[in-house]
Amino acid sequence: MKYSILIALSMISVSTFAQESPLTFNRNTEFNSGYYKFNNRKETLLEKQIFDIGKIKNLNFQKIILKDSKDNSSFSVLGIMTFFETFDSISKRTITFDKEEVNLLINNLQILEQKTSSKPSTESKYKYLTKNYLEVGSSFNEISNSWTYYIKLPNSSSQNPILLDKTEFKELLNILKKIEKDL
């Protein structure tokens, strides 16, 4: 009897202390960007300037310039800012892209534009995912006989994708090309 109680207590204690903590996965990879490193400089005064470039639906496209007063260096990025609302809160969020990421985004969206220029013979969908998990894609809508484009922001499971028509998608490409020259 003593042995069975001792074994039961041993099993309970082993199972209690042997549990692993759940893995956490950080979907925001901005910590790898030059903007994040520049923004977190110590012992210097940083100035942040924000210039509005354009707006599509509830997405505001901005050029963000950080300046270091110590050595007069600066760093420019594209910022995509949005507001989104849940039942009990309203949030503002800005996702940043450096020049290399903007170039890659433009190239992939131009390829997407070419692929969606005609009606597909089979059901087709496209998706592009950036390093910091901004998702842009398209699917063919047979009812309207046209392509529907979408943008989905990272870490926004409660938010639906932002749907764009063909003219709004072209406007998105034009805004990205415009800011690419300034970065």
Instruction: Extract the tokens encoding 106.
Output: 């433009």
Phi, psi angle pair for 60, to nearest 5°: -105, 125
CA–CA separation, 93 and 162 (whole Å): 15
Note if the pTM is more than 0.85: no
What's the pLDDT at 7? 66
**Structural domains of the chain in order of their starting residue, each with its CATH number:** 30-182 (3.30.2450)
Instruction: Extract the tokens encoding 137.
Output: 């894609």
* Average pLDDT, 10 consecutive residues per value, the chain (183 residues): 62 54 42 74 90 92 93 92 79 88 95 92 90 91 88 72 93 94 85
154 contacts 27 by C-beta, under 8 angstroms? yes
CA–CA separation, 10 and 71 (whole Å): 62
